[in-house]
Chain A
Amino acid sequence: MNLSKDLMAASSTPIVLGVIAEGETYGYEIVKRVEELSGGILTWTDGMMYPLLHRLEKQGYLVARWRLADSGRKRKYYAITDLGKQAILEQRQQWQLINNALNTLWNNPYDFQPA
């Protein structure tokens, strides 16, 4: 199944914020975690993740730190801020609203007949 571009774009912010809320992490790990979460369906172009991370940082949802990984490689780690946690909460309410609306619609036996 292929997800539409618009849906991918809209869902990327809450997903990335959610992954980072699990604990401080870096870009490559986020990509892998998202793939794992979606069973491989949600695959972004990896490079596009970074402008998104920078945008979220600018909005104050994330803080970034350069740190030396165990492998001796320099990595930029991202952590969630209080503002970011708030944003997750808001996003969550919005997505649940849509989810509920769609569920109600599609569970109504009069309106919806699968072909």
Chain B
Amino acid sequence: MTSNPPDDHLVLTQNIAEWRRYLLRQSAIQEEDADELESHLRDEIDALIGAGLAADEAFLVATKRLGQIAAISHEFAEVHAGRLWRNLVFSPATSSASLLTVLLLALVAAIAIKAPLLFGVSMASHEWFFAYNISLFCLPMLAAYWVIERQLGQRGWLFVGSCTLFAAIYMNAMPWQPGGDTAVLAMLHLPLLLWFMVGVTYSGNWWRSDAKQMDFIRFSGEYFIYFVLVALGGAVLTAFTIGIFSFIDIDVEWFASQWIIPCGAMGAVVIVGYLVGAKQGAIETMAPVLARIFTPLFTLLLSVFLMVMLVTGKGFNLERDVLLGLNMMLILVLGLVLYSVSSKAPAQGPSLFDYLQLLLVATALCVDLLALLAIGGRILELGLTPNRIAVLGANLLLLTSLAGYAWYYFLFIRARVGFVQLEQWQIKLIPFYVAWAAVVVFLLPLAFRFA
């Protein structure tokens, strides 16, 4: 390039910068792809200049050879379906209509939870009725939102309607013992099944493609973060409402606890689903940050916990609360891994953070193994109960998924497989989680006669 006057060089740099800007305006092409294409363009230009072309000619020929940007972008969109999906959500034509839809559905959910009042069923008098049905008031509305948004038509309505009706009849017509073990287990696992129903409608193609399933995992993770944020906001609002009225000696606490909180929570479940779709960009930067902050801390916690267990020789105290808390923690670890996996750019090589992640998964695996041993021992000693079966199944599932993560992370760090296999592993496990939830909701109570 030394043979060219400096002017030429400057023009070339400007030309390339402009070409790159145009490239990045294509929604399916991201910064990293532009880097890759630009590197190719520069190689080509260098070769052409070496063959005797002037800089501006070389630029023209090189861009021509690289091909039409629209066509390339189209191909990229096919490969990376997630990027295309974001464009669909952001297209301004749908947004105001969807806002109206989601507000209406949120209103329906809020009314639904107070509707039993008309029949004299209040939260104070029928505590268990609300506990069994709480997820049935809101999650079907969220599924309905996606039926409308994804234009699933009659089949979608039929699917959501029949699932909901079946679950509602099952939860209310069976001879449950209020507060019995199987009832509580079914109550805890039903939301998982309903969440899968939301996932099927969310995917828009009846859960068919890997890309859509991966998208739903991301959606779930982001949904959780957003829901916590909205709940915090709601708590502040409620506290202020109560406080400000107490200044003028009017007690509105009953109103807050009976109307604002339940109606607000039900509405929030629906609205957060819309927010995650519409404002995805904001969260995309947040989930990785959270994962980066908490991965080292959780790794530390679990390692110390393991060491204390080994040194003191203390085993798990097998109360229901202990096991539930333990499972929650393992699920949280799974969530952390999930955030990092979904937010990682697949082409990056392993970094220090990945080693840490592997360590986190490995320690969690050890803790889970110890818990499983404890549960297994308990079952051998004292026999099967619904609680023990549910915990055993959940821990086996956790063990399998953690072991898979550990294995793929190990291979990834040794540069034997790409990051894609890790994502695939995530997707493959979903049906098993759902199947297990179905077993706990439907089969366990039958086997134990709704005790």
Contacts and interface: CB of A to CB of B under 8 A. Distances in A.
A5 interface: no
Query: What 6 pairs between A and B have smallest CB-CB spacing?
Result: A45-B67, A51-B75, A47-B67, A47-B72, A28-B43, A64-B347
Contacts of B25: none
Interface string A64-99: 111000000111100001110000000000000000
Interface string B39-73: 11011100000000000000000000111110110
Contact of A62 (B42, B79, B418): B418
B347 A57 contact: yes
A73 B42 contact: yes
B35 A74 contact: yes
A71 to B, nearest CB: 8
Contacts of A106: none
B35 A51 contact: no
Interface of B is mostly: helix
B346 A51 contact: no
Contacts of B415: 63
B71 A45 contact: yes
A31 B348 CA distance: 23
Interface in A47-65: 47-48, 50-52, 54-55, 57-60, 62-65
Chain A, interface size category, equals: 20 to 34
Q: Name the interface size band of chain B.
A: 20 to 34
11 contacts: A46-B65, A46-B66, A46-B67, A47-B37, A47-B40, A47-B72, A48-B71, A60-B421, A64-B346, A73-B43, A74-B35
Contact of A54 (B76, B348, B421): B76
Given A28-B43, A47-B37, A63-B417, 19 more contacts: A27-B36, A45-B66, A45-B67, A46-B65, A47-B72, A50-B36, A50-B40, A51-B79, A54-B76, A54-B80, A57-B346, A60-B417, A60-B418, A63-B418, A64-B347, A64-B418, A74-B39, A75-B39, A81-B418
A87 B415 CA distance: 18
Contacts of B416: 81-82
A57 B420 contact: yes
Given A47-B66, A50-B33, A60 B78 contact: no
Residue of A26, A46, A60, A83 most packed against chain B (CB within 10 A): A46
